[in-house]
Structure 1
Amino acid sequence: MDDSTQRSEPRLDRRQFLAGATGVGAASVGLGSGLVGRASAQQGTTHKVAMITEGSEYIFDPIGLYIEPGDTVQFYIDSGDHSATAYHPNNPRASTRRIPEGAANFDSGTLTEKGAAYEHTFETKGTYDYYCIPHKTLGMVGRLVVGEPGGPATESPIPDKPGSGIMPPSDKIVEEKKISYPYVPETGGGSLPGLALGGAALFALANTYLLSDYDVRSGRYSEEEFEDDTETGR
């Protein structure tokens, strides 16, 4: 090959080379950033629910929790032996379904060591009721709302009463995001247990008065029995 042929070949200027390299690098970075962004968007938040034995009570705390679709819940042993098990016909001791249609079933099995944990990621929107296998009938139940209320858990009362208080409604969970155990709703005149005790006291007082008035009017007691004791010294 002669010199004229060599001179006719195009040469890549140093500045052109650097500009090209920079462009390729920027495109690579942009592509990488997009992938990282998509991965971050797909990775949900992890929430924690403690499983607790406290005296004669067996507790999920919080008893009510709101999460977004794609979030994960970690159920962990604070004390005692417990499970986190969905109300689903395929699970032990659950004869009814109380999770949304199409939602993935979950069951941790009974965990026995302090700090042991089970995680489940919730993708389907709706209300999820769950329980502890050993303590279901003793009131160890909980509720999650994923995205928005819905499904069988919103159509009928939970079959197992929470130990203290009541199961928080789905809309209340959405409003407050996290509800600690126990949930005792305010009625404007005090908590439900307080109102119940107050009502019982008023009923007993009224009943006592009516019985006393009846005894006096019935003539069972003579007037002498009602004379002033201050004069007799009794």
Structure 2
Amino acid sequence: MKRRAFVRGGGTVAVGGLAGLAGCSAPTGDGGGGEGTTGGGTATGEGGTATEGGAATTTGGAQGGTQQVAMITEGSEYYFDPIGLFVEPGTTVEWVIESGSHSSTAYAESLDSADVTRIPEQAEPWNSGILTEQGASFSYTFEVTGTYDYFCLPHKALGMIARIVCGEPGDVEGDPPDGDVPSEQAIVNQGTISYEEFGSG
């Protein structure tokens, strides 16, 4: 099994109209997955590669290409957008800080930051560590089919969680312990479910 993970720092990526919103506080420490205070950290798991200054490439496999997920603080709301995403095996997902300080962290007991595992058994877990710079990003290439639930380290208790289905649903039942996410079948049917769409549904 091969997968690539990258962390990239920098403030040159703009993702949408909320980029000017105020950030949120992040706890100190490395969040269990790498240094996140400057947007450059160490990706966990076999095959992880970290870079700073925007030098990383995030090209996915032949089938998948690259998809982006924004990490957003908006007032008292903290969320991933889209909250539900369908990808084919070989797709790289790049999480980008639009506002605030966030992480992308798999529900995997092996990371010491989750009490349950909610990713496929054969998949490598990931943890970006806490990224603080606007435009900082972290990428992970999905190779194993199934359902992946993930969260933000500082905002998990506030419901900042999301779901990715790679290829076909599988390996999880119901919602993660920290909140609601779109159903696997809804994600497969729609391809992408925005945070706003899910919240108003």
Shorter-normalised TM range = 0.5 to 0.7
Do 1:92 and 1:133's aligned partners in 2 also have CA atoms closer than 8 Å? no
TM-score norm. by structure 1 comes to 0.58
The alpha-carbon deviation at position 90 of structure 1 amounts to: 1.8
Q: Where does residue 82 of structure 1 map in the other structure?
A: 102
3-state DSSP of counterpart to 1:157: coil
The alpha-carbon deviation at position 43 of structure 1 amounts to: 6.0
Q: Where does residue 69 of structure 1 map in the other structure?
A: 89
User: What is the CA–CA distance in structure 1 between the aligned matches of 2:126 and 2:94, rounded to whole Å?
Assistant: 12
Gapped runs of 5+ residues in structure 1? 1-39, 187-234
Among 175, 182, 186, the alignment partner of 1:172 is 186
Q: Where does residue 44 of structure 1 map in the other structure?
A: 64
Among 133, 137, 144, the alignment partner of 2:157 is 137
Instruction: State the one-letter code of the partner of 1:171.
Output: Q
The alpha-carbon deviation at position 157 of structure 1 amounts to: 2.6
Q: Where does residue 8 of structure 2 map in the other structure?
A: none
Task: Within 5 Å, give how 1:100-139 maps onto structure 2.
Answer: 100-139=120-159
Do 1:48 and 1:74's aligned partners in 2 also have CA atoms closer than 8 Å? yes
- Give 1 or 2: higher strand fraction: 2
3-state DSSP of counterpart to 2:153: coil
Do 2:65 and 2:91's aligned partners in 1 also have CA atoms closer than 8 Å? yes
User: What is the CA–CA distance in structure 1 between the aligned matches of 2:154 and 2:167, rounded to whole Å?
Assistant: 29
Do 1:49 and 1:76's aligned partners in 2 also have CA atoms closer than 8 Å? yes
Query: Runs of 4+ in structure 1 displaced over 6 angstroms?
Result: none
User: What is the CA–CA distance in structure 2 between the aligned matches of 1:93 and 1:41, rounded to whole Å?
Assistant: 29
Q: Where does residue 174 of structure 2 map in the other structure?
A: 156
3-state DSSP of counterpart to 1:134: helix
The alpha-carbon deviation at position 93 of structure 1 amounts to: 2.5
Highest Rg: 1 or 2?
1
The alpha-carbon deviation at position 95 of structure 1 amounts to: 1.0
Q: Where does residue 195 of structure 2 map in the other structure?
A: 181
The alpha-carbon deviation at position 91 of structure 1 amounts to: 1.9
Instruction: State the one-letter code of the partner of 1:86.
Output: A
The alpha-carbon deviation at position 57 of structure 1 amounts to: 0.5
1 or 2 for the larger relative contact order (CA 8 Å, sep ≥6)? 2
Task: Within 5 Å, give how 1:204-219 maps onto structure 2.
Answer: none
- Give 1 or 2: higher helix fraction: 1
Do 2:63 and 2:88's aligned partners in 1 also have CA atoms closer than 8 Å? no
Cα RMSD of the aligned pairs, angstroms, is 1.7
User: What is the CA–CA distance in structure 2 between the aligned matches of 1:57 and 1:86, rounded to whole Å?
Assistant: 20
TM-score norm. by structure 2 comes to 0.67
3-state DSSP of counterpart to 1:90: helix
3-state DSSP of counterpart to 2:109: coil
Do 1:75 and 1:118's aligned partners in 2 also have CA atoms closer than 8 Å? yes
Aligned residues: 141
Gapped runs of 5+ residues in structure 2? 1-59
